[in-house]
Amino acid sequence: MSGSQASSTNHSATVSWTAPTTYTNGSPLSLSDLQGFHVHYGTSSSALSQEITVPNASAVTYTVGGLTAGTWYFAVSAYTSSGESGLSATESKTIS
């Protein structure tokens, strides 16, 4: 298959993280209450407009597919039945 026939949205990026230990208000996040993670991403670091729910409390990676060429920004938050953590630091990946 030549490059011109390839889909422009067949790129992916693998995001990895360490589970957070606090909620946004600074109170401790109990890992026994952890239900999963939200992977936030977009083409602007100030507008992570897309989100994927990873309903697995033991997950530490997720591969985001369907990305087009360009620079993508990613951040992760954890959620429990009581609330959600703040976003992790934003990381980027350039796809060409």
Q: How many domains does the chain have?
A: 1
* CATH code of the domain containing 56: 2.60.40.10
Per-residue model confidence as pLDDT tens digits over 11-39:
999 999 987 777 777 777 777 888 999 99
pTM for the complete prediction? 0.82
Neighbours of 38 (CB within 10 A): 18
Range of the domain at 37: 3-95
pLDDT at 8 over 80: no
> What pLDDT shows up at residue 9?
66
CA-to-CA dists, residue 6 to 41, 58, 65, angstroms: 23, 34, 15
